[in-house]
């Protein structure tokens, strides 16, 4: 990862978990006519997990049942069986959802991996005061540079081999610097090569960045960059369709 700052750890798995919990809560509150749609969403996520990992759903089931069994055994030993049953069901659902969310996230990353624009799909799933402009620069090899604005400042994220995207990032950094004078600009290479950040860790790395700007300054930078012309149109290729990632933790 070619980046000029460091930070703490993110919570990528909870991006999917948050999405799943929202579905479950809306299922409980929605009318009967809406429930089949919600159930269908969960089934679709389960199918994605099954395709990526045939053992995925059994792992979810066993993790939930195992958690329930442990809590019930503790209840039997302490003579609090009925209380432990209630706690056990809640604990089993929680553990099952966490495991389900982690497996769903891995499955979605595996689907996006290798597709043109995959990094943009992941970036657009971030929660909080982030603005993503996909493909502000591109070349014939479908290497891309995406623009992200948030509390850290400006972040340029590239997709493609390091030997090709280095010059693109440097050129875009100079171009952006002329528009946002004095604002911190980071450059990140997304990929599997040496010095690059894998797709599955991209959100986490952006969440690590220091908060250099306050909200009014972030909005001012966004306004400046919206007027900046794009170098090239998006190249033709297999862009991820409907592959927007569930939104992650909010940066406060």
Quick check: 122 and 245 in contact, CB under 8 A?
yes
- Considering the domain boundaries, does residue 106 fall inside one? yes
Please tell me whether residues 59 and 39 are part of one structural domain.
yes
Mean pLDDT of 72-94: 91
- Considering the domain boundaries, does residue 3 fall inside one? no
Q: For residue 239, what pLDDT band results from cuts at 50, 70 and 90?
A: very low
49-74 tens-digit pLDDT: 888 888 999 999 999 999 999 999 99
List all residues 6 or more positions away from 183 whose beta carbon is below 8 Å from its beta carbon: 153, 154, 212, 213, 217, 221
Report the run of H or E that residue 189 belongs to, with start and end. Answer: strand 185-190
- Considering the domain boundaries, does residue 143 fall inside one? yes
pLDDT score, position 246 = 45
User: How many structural domains comprise the chain?
Assistant: 2
118-150 tens-digit pLDDT: 898 888 888 888 999 999 999 999 899 999 999
Which domain does 55 fall in, by range? Answer: 13-112
Looking at the predicted structure, is the pLDDT value of residue 2 above 80? no
What is the chain's length? Answer: 252
Q: For residue 48, what pLDDT band results from cuts at 50, 70 and 90?
A: confident
C-alpha distance from residue 121 to each of 65, 124, 133 (Å): 34, 5, 11
Please tell me whether residues 131 and 107 are part of one structural domain.
no
Q: Give CA–CA dist 81/194, Å, rounded.
A: 54
Structure tokens at 144: 């891309």
148-197 tens-digit pLDDT: 999 999 999 999 998 899 999 999 999 999 999 899 999 999 988 888 99
Please tell me whether residues 127 and 206 are part of one structural domain.
yes
Asked whether the whole model's pTM tops 0.75, one would answer no
pLDDT score, position 13 = 42
Please tell me whether residues 126 and 84 are part of one structural domain.
no
Please tell me whether residues 150 and 205 are part of one structural domain.
yes
Please tell me whether residues 124 and 89 are part of one structural domain.
no
Q: Give CA–CA dist 62/245, Å, rounded.
A: 26
CA atoms within 13 A of residue 139's CA, in its CB half-sphere: 15
């Amino acid at each position: 990862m070619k980046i000029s700052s460091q930070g703490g750890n993110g919570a990528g798995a909870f991006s999917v978990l948050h999405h799943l919990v929202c579905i479950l809560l809306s299922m409980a509150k929605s009318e009967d006519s809406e429930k089949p749609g919600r159930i269908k969403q969960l089934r679709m996520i389960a199918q994605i997990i099954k395709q990526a990992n045939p053992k995925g759903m059994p792992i979810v089931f066993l993790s939930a049942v195992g958690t329930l069994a442990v809590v019930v055994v503790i209840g039997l030993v302490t003579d609090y069986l009925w209380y432990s049953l209630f706690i056990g069901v809640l604990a089993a659902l929680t553990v099952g959802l966490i495991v389900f969310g982690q497996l769903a996230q891995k499955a979605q990353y595996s689907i996006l991996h290798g597709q043109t624009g995959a990094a943009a799909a992941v970036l657009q799933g971030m929660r909080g005061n982030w603005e993503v402009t996909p493909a502000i620069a591109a070349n014939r090899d479908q290497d891309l540079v995406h623009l992200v604005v948030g509390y850290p400042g400006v972040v340029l994220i590239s997709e493609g081999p390091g030997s090709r995207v280095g010059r693109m990032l440097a050129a875009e950094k100079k171009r952006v610097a002329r528009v946002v004078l004095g604002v911190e600009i980071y450059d990140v290479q997304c990929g599997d090569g040496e010095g690059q950040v894998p797709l599955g860790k991209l959100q986490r790395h952006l969440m690590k960045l220091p908060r250099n700007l306050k909200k009014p300054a972030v909005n001012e930078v966004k306004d400046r960059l919206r007027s900046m012309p794009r170098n090239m149109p998006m190249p033709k290729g297999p862009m991820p369709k409907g592959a927007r990632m569930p939104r992650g933790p909010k940066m406060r």
